[in-house]
Chains A and B, each alone.
Chain A
Protein backbone atom coordinates (compact mmCIF):
# COMPACT_ATOMS: atom_id res chain seq x y z
CA UNK A 1 0.00 0.00 0.00
CA UNK A 2 2.84 2.36 0.83
CA UNK A 3 4.35 2.21 -2.67
CA UNK A 4 1.10 2.89 -4.50
CA UNK A 5 0.27 6.35 -5.68
CA UNK A 6 -3.20 7.52 -4.73
CA UNK A 7 -4.79 9.53 -7.53
CA UNK A 8 -7.54 11.92 -6.70
CA UNK A 9 -10.13 11.14 -9.38
CA UNK A 10 -10.87 7.45 -8.91
CA UNK A 11 -10.74 7.97 -5.18
CA UNK A 12 -13.26 10.81 -5.36
CA UNK A 13 -15.66 8.58 -7.30
CA UNK A 14 -15.22 5.52 -5.09
CA UNK A 15 -15.69 7.70 -2.02
CA UNK A 16 -19.24 8.54 -3.09
CA UNK A 17 -20.43 4.90 -2.96
CA UNK A 18 -23.09 4.53 -0.28
CA UNK A 19 -23.32 1.75 2.26
CA UNK A 20 -26.36 -0.32 1.15
CA UNK A 21 -27.54 -0.92 4.72
CA UNK A 22 -26.77 2.57 6.03
CA UNK A 23 -27.41 4.67 2.90
CA UNK A 24 -26.93 7.94 4.78
CA UNK A 25 -23.16 7.36 4.87
CA UNK A 26 -20.56 6.67 2.19
CA UNK A 27 -17.91 3.98 2.39
CA UNK A 28 -15.43 6.81 2.97
CA UNK A 29 -17.48 8.09 5.93
CA UNK A 30 -17.45 4.57 7.37
CA UNK A 31 -13.70 4.31 7.02
CA UNK A 32 -13.84 1.05 5.05
CA UNK A 33 -12.35 2.57 1.86
CA UNK A 34 -8.67 1.91 2.43
CA UNK A 35 -6.92 2.75 -0.84
CA UNK A 36 -7.61 3.68 -4.47
CA UNK A 37 -4.99 3.64 -7.22
CA UNK A 38 -5.29 4.16 -10.96
CA UNK A 39 -2.99 4.07 -13.96
CA UNK A 40 -3.00 5.79 -17.36
CA UNK A 41 -4.52 2.68 -19.00
CA UNK A 42 -7.86 3.42 -17.31
CA UNK A 43 -7.47 0.73 -14.69
CA UNK A 44 -8.45 1.33 -11.08
CA UNK A 45 -7.67 -0.74 -8.03
CA UNK A 46 -9.79 -0.22 -4.92
CA UNK A 47 -9.03 -1.69 -1.49
CA UNK A 48 -11.78 -2.02 1.11
CA UNK A 49 -12.12 -3.76 4.47
CA UNK A 50 -15.25 -5.31 6.02
CA UNK A 51 -16.83 -3.93 9.19
CA UNK A 52 -17.68 -7.42 10.46
CA UNK A 53 -16.33 -10.79 9.22
CA UNK A 54 -19.79 -11.81 8.06
CA UNK A 55 -20.94 -8.45 6.72
CA UNK A 56 -23.40 -9.37 3.93
CA UNK A 57 -23.10 -5.93 2.31
CA UNK A 58 -19.56 -6.43 1.00
CA UNK A 59 -20.60 -7.99 -2.29
CA UNK A 60 -23.05 -5.17 -3.03
CA UNK A 61 -20.44 -2.56 -2.13
CA UNK A 62 -17.98 -4.23 -4.49
CA UNK A 63 -20.49 -4.17 -7.34
CA UNK A 64 -21.38 -0.52 -6.63
CA UNK A 65 -17.71 0.50 -6.70
CA UNK A 66 -17.18 -1.30 -10.01
CA UNK A 67 -20.26 0.15 -11.66
CA UNK A 68 -19.64 3.74 -10.50
CA UNK A 69 -16.05 3.68 -11.76
CA UNK A 70 -17.01 2.00 -15.03
CA UNK A 71 -19.68 4.63 -15.52
CA UNK A 72 -16.96 7.27 -15.08
CA UNK A 73 -14.99 5.67 -17.92
CA UNK A 74 -12.60 3.31 -16.19
CA UNK A 75 -11.90 0.26 -18.34
CA UNK A 76 -11.02 -2.20 -15.67
CA UNK A 77 -11.83 -2.03 -11.94
CA UNK A 78 -10.47 -4.44 -9.35
CA UNK A 79 -11.75 -4.46 -5.80
CA UNK A 80 -9.60 -6.08 -3.18
CA UNK A 81 -10.73 -7.04 0.33
CA UNK A 82 -8.20 -6.71 3.12
CA UNK A 83 -8.61 -7.70 6.78
CA UNK A 84 -5.57 -6.12 8.35
CA UNK A 85 -5.54 -3.79 10.17
CA UNK A 86 -8.99 -4.72 11.42
CA UNK A 87 -11.65 -2.05 10.99
CA UNK A 88 -12.75 -0.18 14.09
CA UNK A 89 -15.58 2.28 14.70
CA UNK A 90 -12.77 4.73 15.51
CA UNK A 91 -12.25 4.77 11.70
CA UNK A 92 -15.60 6.53 11.19
CA UNK A 93 -15.07 10.12 10.06
CA UNK A 94 -16.51 13.09 11.95
CA UNK A 95 -18.76 13.78 8.97
CA UNK A 96 -19.94 10.16 9.05
CA UNK A 97 -20.80 10.45 12.73
CA UNK A 98 -22.81 13.61 12.10
CA UNK A 99 -24.71 11.97 9.23
CA UNK A 100 -25.58 8.97 11.39
CA UNK A 101 -26.81 11.19 14.23
CA UNK A 102 -28.94 13.26 11.81
CA UNK A 103 -30.53 10.00 10.59
CA UNK A 104 -31.44 9.02 14.16
CA UNK A 105 -28.60 6.55 14.72
CA UNK A 106 -26.52 7.35 17.79
CA UNK A 107 -22.85 7.26 16.70
CA UNK A 108 -20.36 5.05 18.55
CA UNK A 109 -18.23 6.25 21.41
CA UNK A 110 -14.48 5.57 21.47
CA UNK A 111 -13.48 1.92 21.53
CA UNK A 112 -12.39 0.94 25.01
CA UNK A 113 -11.01 -2.27 26.43
CA UNK A 114 -13.90 -4.45 27.50
CA UNK A 115 -12.70 -6.75 30.22
CA UNK A 116 -14.48 -9.05 32.62
CA UNK A 117 -17.68 -11.05 32.21
CA UNK A 118 -20.06 -8.09 32.62
CA UNK A 119 -18.34 -4.90 31.54
CA UNK A 120 -19.79 -1.51 32.41
CA UNK A 121 -21.20 0.51 29.55
CA UNK A 122 -21.38 4.26 29.21
CA UNK A 123 -24.71 5.91 28.52
CA UNK A 124 -25.62 6.74 24.94
CA UNK A 125 -27.14 10.10 24.02
CA UNK A 126 -30.61 9.93 22.45
CA UNK A 127 -30.35 11.18 18.82
CA UNK A 128 -33.93 12.51 19.04
CA UNK A 129 -33.92 14.61 22.23
CA UNK A 130 -30.28 14.54 23.40
CA UNK A 131 -31.20 12.97 26.74
CA UNK A 132 -28.68 10.71 28.45
CA UNK A 133 -31.52 8.86 30.20
CA UNK A 134 -31.37 5.91 27.80
CA UNK A 135 -31.08 2.18 28.16
CA UNK A 136 -30.07 -0.68 25.90
CA UNK A 137 -32.99 -2.91 24.94
CA UNK A 138 -30.96 -5.31 22.83
CA UNK A 139 -27.24 -5.68 22.28
CA UNK A 140 -27.87 -6.71 18.66
CA UNK A 141 -29.91 -4.72 16.14
CA UNK A 142 -31.11 -4.79 12.55
CA UNK A 143 -27.55 -5.00 11.24
CA UNK A 144 -24.41 -6.48 12.77
CA UNK A 145 -23.02 -3.05 13.60
CA UNK A 146 -25.97 -1.68 15.60
CA UNK A 147 -27.68 -2.23 18.95
CA UNK A 148 -31.21 -1.23 19.99
CA UNK A 149 -31.81 1.46 22.60
CA UNK A 150 -34.79 3.24 24.09
CA UNK A 151 -34.89 6.77 25.50
CA UNK A 152 -36.37 7.31 28.97
CA UNK A 153 -37.09 11.00 28.29
CA UNK A 154 -38.82 11.01 24.88
CA UNK A 155 -39.72 7.29 25.03
CA UNK A 156 -38.51 6.76 21.47
CA UNK A 157 -36.52 3.69 20.47
CA UNK A 158 -33.36 4.28 18.44
CA UNK A 159 -30.38 2.48 16.87
CA UNK A 160 -26.89 2.85 18.26
CA UNK A 161 -23.83 2.16 16.13
CA UNK A 162 -21.89 0.09 18.65
CA UNK A 163 -18.20 0.57 19.34
CA UNK A 164 -16.05 -2.16 17.79
Chain B
Protein backbone atom coordinates (compact mmCIF):
# COMPACT_ATOMS: atom_id res chain seq x y z
CA UNK B 1 0.00 0.00 0.00
CA UNK B 2 1.40 3.37 -0.96
CA UNK B 3 1.58 5.74 1.96
CA UNK B 4 3.37 8.60 0.23
CA UNK B 5 2.88 10.65 -2.90
CA UNK B 6 6.36 9.51 -3.93
CA UNK B 7 5.29 5.85 -3.74
CA UNK B 8 2.07 6.55 -5.60
CA UNK B 9 3.82 8.43 -8.40
CA UNK B 10 6.54 5.79 -8.61
CA UNK B 11 3.92 3.04 -8.99
CA UNK B 12 2.29 4.86 -11.92
CA UNK B 13 5.69 5.50 -13.48
CA UNK B 14 6.80 1.88 -13.13
CA UNK B 15 3.59 0.57 -14.71
CA UNK B 16 4.20 2.80 -17.73
CA UNK B 17 7.94 2.09 -17.93
CA UNK B 18 7.70 -1.70 -17.72
CA UNK B 19 4.78 -1.77 -20.15
CA UNK B 20 6.78 0.38 -22.59
CA UNK B 21 9.71 -2.04 -22.42
CA UNK B 22 7.42 -5.00 -23.21
CA UNK B 23 5.85 -3.06 -26.10
CA UNK B 24 9.29 -2.45 -27.56
CA UNK B 25 9.82 -6.21 -27.81
CA UNK B 26 7.21 -6.26 -30.60
CA UNK B 27 9.21 -4.03 -32.93
CA UNK B 28 10.03 -6.27 -35.92
CA UNK B 29 7.86 -9.09 -34.52
CA UNK B 30 4.29 -7.82 -35.01
CA UNK B 31 2.02 -9.50 -37.60
CA UNK B 32 2.39 -6.61 -40.07
CA UNK B 33 4.64 -3.60 -40.58
CA UNK B 34 1.92 -1.10 -39.62
CA UNK B 35 1.55 -2.94 -36.33
CA UNK B 36 5.30 -2.72 -35.62
CA UNK B 37 4.92 1.03 -36.01
CA UNK B 38 1.75 1.18 -33.91
CA UNK B 39 3.16 -0.78 -30.98
CA UNK B 40 6.39 1.22 -31.09
CA UNK B 41 4.36 4.44 -30.93
CA UNK B 42 2.25 3.17 -28.06
CA UNK B 43 5.38 2.09 -26.18
CA UNK B 44 6.91 5.52 -26.84
CA UNK B 45 3.85 7.26 -25.39
CA UNK B 46 4.10 5.09 -22.29
CA UNK B 47 7.82 5.77 -22.01
CA UNK B 48 7.16 9.50 -22.24
CA UNK B 49 4.61 9.26 -19.43
CA UNK B 50 7.06 7.18 -17.38
CA UNK B 51 9.81 9.78 -17.80
CA UNK B 52 7.59 12.64 -16.64
CA UNK B 53 6.37 10.61 -13.65
CA UNK B 54 9.83 9.34 -12.70
CA UNK B 55 11.25 12.85 -12.82
CA UNK B 56 8.48 14.04 -10.53
CA UNK B 57 8.89 11.04 -8.20
CA UNK B 58 12.59 11.89 -7.83
CA UNK B 59 11.70 15.44 -6.83
CA UNK B 60 9.10 14.24 -4.33
CA UNK B 61 11.61 11.88 -2.73
CA UNK B 62 14.05 14.75 -2.34
CA UNK B 63 17.23 12.68 -2.37
CA UNK B 64 18.48 13.88 -5.72
CA UNK B 65 17.59 10.81 -7.77
CA UNK B 66 16.94 11.58 -11.44
CA UNK B 67 14.64 9.74 -13.86
CA UNK B 68 17.66 7.74 -15.06
CA UNK B 69 18.67 6.79 -11.50
CA UNK B 70 15.17 5.53 -10.86
CA UNK B 71 14.83 3.67 -14.15
CA UNK B 72 18.27 2.11 -14.34
CA UNK B 73 19.63 1.77 -10.83
CA UNK B 74 16.86 0.02 -8.93
CA UNK B 75 16.52 -3.74 -8.55
CA UNK B 76 13.29 -5.64 -9.08
CA UNK B 77 12.26 -5.54 -5.43
CA UNK B 78 12.30 -1.74 -5.61
CA UNK B 79 9.95 -1.60 -8.60
CA UNK B 80 6.29 -0.87 -7.82
CA UNK B 81 4.58 -1.89 -11.06
CA UNK B 82 1.71 -4.37 -11.19
CA UNK B 83 2.56 -7.89 -12.33
CA UNK B 84 0.13 -7.53 -15.25
CA UNK B 85 2.62 -5.47 -17.27
CA UNK B 86 5.85 -7.35 -16.49
CA UNK B 87 5.13 -10.82 -17.84
CA UNK B 88 6.32 -11.70 -21.35
CA UNK B 89 3.77 -11.40 -24.14
CA UNK B 90 4.87 -13.46 -27.08
CA UNK B 91 1.34 -14.04 -28.41
CA UNK B 92 -0.21 -11.08 -30.22
CA UNK B 93 -3.60 -11.86 -28.68
CA UNK B 94 -2.05 -11.57 -25.21
CA UNK B 95 -0.52 -8.22 -26.17
CA UNK B 96 -3.91 -6.89 -27.26
CA UNK B 97 -5.82 -8.34 -24.29
CA UNK B 98 -3.34 -6.75 -21.92
CA UNK B 99 -3.27 -3.42 -23.73
CA UNK B 100 -7.08 -3.29 -23.69
CA UNK B 101 -7.18 -3.72 -19.92
CA UNK B 102 -4.15 -1.59 -19.10
CA UNK B 103 -4.94 1.32 -21.42
CA UNK B 104 -8.58 1.40 -20.27
CA UNK B 105 -7.38 1.49 -16.65
CA UNK B 106 -4.90 4.26 -17.50
CA UNK B 107 -7.60 6.21 -19.34
CA UNK B 108 -9.84 6.30 -16.26
CA UNK B 109 -6.87 6.93 -13.98
CA UNK B 110 -5.44 9.84 -15.96
CA UNK B 111 -8.88 11.28 -16.68
CA UNK B 112 -9.57 11.49 -12.96
CA UNK B 113 -6.08 12.82 -12.16
CA UNK B 114 -6.60 15.79 -14.49
CA UNK B 115 -8.58 17.37 -11.64
CA UNK B 116 -6.11 16.34 -8.91
CA UNK B 117 -5.11 18.94 -6.31
CA UNK B 118 -1.52 18.13 -7.29
CA UNK B 119 -0.73 20.40 -10.24
CA UNK B 120 2.15 18.26 -11.57
CA UNK B 121 0.15 15.03 -11.62
CA UNK B 122 -2.76 16.90 -13.19
CA UNK B 123 -0.51 18.27 -15.97
CA UNK B 124 1.04 14.87 -16.75
CA UNK B 125 -2.42 13.30 -16.76
CA UNK B 126 -3.90 15.94 -19.08
CA UNK B 127 -1.18 15.13 -21.60
CA UNK B 128 -1.38 11.36 -21.18
CA UNK B 129 -5.16 11.06 -21.31
CA UNK B 130 -5.16 12.07 -24.97
CA UNK B 131 -2.52 9.48 -25.81
CA UNK B 132 -4.10 6.52 -24.02
CA UNK B 133 -7.43 7.28 -25.73
CA UNK B 134 -5.71 6.14 -28.93
CA UNK B 135 -4.27 3.07 -27.17
CA UNK B 136 -7.71 1.96 -25.97
CA UNK B 137 -9.07 2.46 -29.45
CA UNK B 138 -6.27 0.44 -31.03
CA UNK B 139 -6.59 -2.50 -28.62
CA UNK B 140 -10.40 -2.48 -28.91
CA UNK B 141 -10.26 -2.76 -32.67
CA UNK B 142 -7.89 -5.74 -32.52
CA UNK B 143 -9.87 -7.54 -29.82
CA UNK B 144 -13.03 -7.11 -31.93
CA UNK B 145 -11.28 -8.24 -35.09
CA UNK B 146 -9.68 -11.30 -33.50
CA UNK B 147 -12.54 -12.27 -31.18
CA UNK B 148 -15.15 -11.97 -33.91
CA UNK B 149 -12.82 -13.35 -36.60
CA UNK B 150 -11.97 -16.95 -37.44
CA UNK B 151 -12.36 -19.94 -35.12
CA UNK B 152 -8.61 -19.90 -34.54
CA UNK B 153 -8.37 -16.17 -33.81
CA UNK B 154 -11.40 -16.42 -31.51
CA UNK B 155 -9.85 -19.34 -29.62
CA UNK B 156 -6.54 -17.56 -29.16
CA UNK B 157 -8.11 -14.24 -28.17
CA UNK B 158 -10.18 -16.01 -25.50
CA UNK B 159 -7.09 -17.91 -24.30
CA UNK B 160 -5.28 -14.57 -24.06
CA UNK B 161 -8.02 -13.05 -21.92
CA UNK B 162 -8.00 -16.15 -19.70
CA UNK B 163 -4.21 -15.81 -19.24
CA UNK B 164 -4.32 -12.10 -18.39
CA UNK B 165 -7.40 -12.01 -16.21
CA UNK B 166 -5.91 -13.24 -12.89
CA UNK B 167 -3.57 -10.21 -13.05
CA UNK B 168 -6.28 -7.61 -13.67
CA UNK B 169 -7.42 -7.29 -10.08
CA UNK B 170 -4.07 -5.97 -8.84
CA UNK B 171 -4.55 -2.74 -10.81
CA UNK B 172 -7.24 -1.78 -8.32
CA UNK B 173 -5.17 -2.21 -5.14
CA UNK B 174 -6.29 0.64 -2.86
CA UNK B 175 -3.80 3.36 -1.91
CA UNK B 176 -3.48 4.85 1.55
CA UNK B 177 -6.45 7.10 2.49
CA UNK B 178 -4.06 9.77 3.82
CA UNK B 179 -3.18 10.73 0.24
CA UNK B 180 -6.65 12.29 0.01
CA UNK B 181 -7.69 14.57 -2.85
CA UNK B 182 -4.27 14.71 -4.46
CA UNK B 183 -4.59 11.24 -6.00
CA UNK B 184 -7.15 8.84 -7.40
CA UNK B 185 -7.64 5.70 -5.34
CA UNK B 186 -7.18 2.85 -7.84
CA UNK B 187 -9.99 0.89 -6.19
CA UNK B 188 -12.41 3.52 -7.54
CA UNK B 189 -11.33 2.63 -11.08
CA UNK B 190 -12.47 -1.00 -10.92
CA UNK B 191 -16.07 -0.43 -11.92
CA UNK B 192 -15.56 1.99 -14.85
CA UNK B 193 -12.58 0.02 -16.20
CA UNK B 194 -14.27 -3.37 -16.08
CA UNK B 195 -17.49 -1.95 -17.53
CA UNK B 196 -15.66 -0.61 -20.59
CA UNK B 197 -13.50 -3.72 -21.06
CA UNK B 198 -16.48 -6.07 -20.65
CA UNK B 199 -18.39 -4.16 -23.31
CA UNK B 200 -15.61 -4.71 -25.86
CA UNK B 201 -15.25 -8.37 -24.83
CA UNK B 202 -18.98 -8.99 -25.29
CA UNK B 203 -19.03 -7.19 -28.63
CA UNK B 204 -16.11 -9.38 -29.74
CA UNK B 205 -18.22 -12.50 -28.95
CA UNK B 206 -15.79 -13.37 -26.16
CA UNK B 207 -16.41 -14.15 -22.49
CA UNK B 208 -15.14 -12.32 -19.41
CA UNK B 209 -13.10 -15.04 -17.66
CA UNK B 210 -14.34 -16.24 -14.27
CA UNK B 211 -11.03 -16.82 -12.51
CA UNK B 212 -9.56 -16.07 -9.09
CA UNK B 213 -7.06 -13.22 -8.89
CA UNK B 214 -3.34 -14.03 -8.68
CA UNK B 215 -1.52 -13.29 -5.44
CA UNK B 216 -0.35 -9.86 -6.56
CA UNK B 217 2.06 -7.81 -4.51
CA UNK B 218 3.73 -5.76 -7.24
CA UNK B 219 2.96 -2.53 -5.42
CA UNK B 220 5.02 -3.83 -2.47
CA UNK B 221 7.87 -4.94 -4.72
CA UNK B 222 6.87 -8.61 -5.03
CA UNK B 223 7.24 -9.64 -8.64
CA UNK B 224 7.21 -12.63 -10.93
CA UNK B 225 10.56 -14.00 -12.03
CA UNK B 226 10.11 -12.26 -15.39
CA UNK B 227 10.75 -8.72 -14.13
CA UNK B 228 14.38 -9.50 -13.26
CA UNK B 229 15.12 -10.60 -16.82
CA UNK B 230 13.34 -7.57 -18.26
CA UNK B 231 15.37 -5.21 -16.05
CA UNK B 232 18.63 -6.99 -16.84
CA UNK B 233 18.09 -6.18 -20.51
CA UNK B 234 16.74 -2.67 -19.94
CA UNK B 235 19.44 -1.64 -17.46
CA UNK B 236 22.42 -3.46 -18.94
CA UNK B 237 23.96 -0.62 -20.92
CA UNK B 238 23.54 2.01 -18.25
CA UNK B 239 25.03 -0.22 -15.55
CA UNK B 240 27.91 -1.43 -17.71
CA UNK B 241 28.86 2.08 -18.81
CA UNK B 242 27.84 4.46 -16.02
CA UNK B 243 27.10 7.92 -17.32
CA UNK B 244 27.16 6.86 -20.96
CA UNK B 245 25.48 9.34 -23.31
CA UNK B 246 25.13 9.68 -27.07
Name A residues whose Cβ lies closer than 8 Å to a Cβ of B: 50, 52-56, 83-88, 114, 117-119, 137-142, 144, 148, 162, 164
Identify 9 residue pairs between A and B in the complex whose beta-carbon atoms are under 8 Å apart, listed by A's number: A50-B127, A84-B123, A84-B126, A86-B127, A88-B130, A118-B140, A119-B137, A138-B34, A140-B134
Which of B127, B134, B199 is packed against the most chain A CB atoms within 10 Å? B127
Whether the Cβ atoms of B137 and A118 lie closer than 8 Å is yes
- Identify which of B45, B52, B126, B203 contacts A117 (C-beta below 8 A): B203
Whether the Cβ atoms of B199 and A114 lie closer than 8 Å is no
Complex CA distance for A36 and B120, rounded to whole angstroms: 22
Cβ-Cβ contact count across A and B, 8 Å cutoff: 83
- Identify which of B47, B123, B141 contacts A54 (C-beta below 8 A): B47
Q: Which of chain A's residues have a CB closer than 8 A to the CB of B215?
A: none
Q: Return A31 CB to nearest CB of chain B, in Å.
A: 14
Complex CA distance for A42 and B25, rounded to whole angstroms: 47
- Identify which of A54, A87, A117, A137 contacts B44 (C-beta below 8 A): A54
Whether the Cβ atoms of B138 and A117 lie closer than 8 Å is no
Q: Which of chain A's residues have a CB closer than 8 A to the CB of B51?
A: 53-54
**Known contacts being A53-B51, A144-B45, is A139 close to B134, with CB within 8 Å?**
yes
Whether the Cβ atoms of A114 and B128 lie closer than 8 Å is no
Complex CA distance for A31 and B57, rounded to whole angstroms: 29
- Identify which of B38, B44, B130 contacts A138 (C-beta below 8 A): B38
Interface residues of B, count at CB 8 A: 36
Q: Which of B108-137 contact A (CB under 8 A)?
A: 119, 122-124, 126-128, 130-131, 133-134, 136-137
Whether the Cβ atoms of A138 and B131 lie closer than 8 Å is no
**Known contacts being A86-B126, A86-B127, A144-B41, is A54 close to B48, with CB within 8 Å?**
yes
Having A53-B127, A140-B34, A140-B42, one finds 12 other A-B pairs with CB under 8 Å, namely: A54-B44, A54-B47, A83-B123, A83-B126, A85-B126, A118-B144, A118-B203, A139-B134, A139-B141, A140-B38, A140-B134, A148-B34
Whether the Cβ atoms of A139 and B38 lie closer than 8 Å is yes
Q: Which residue of A lies closest to B199 (CB)?
A: A117
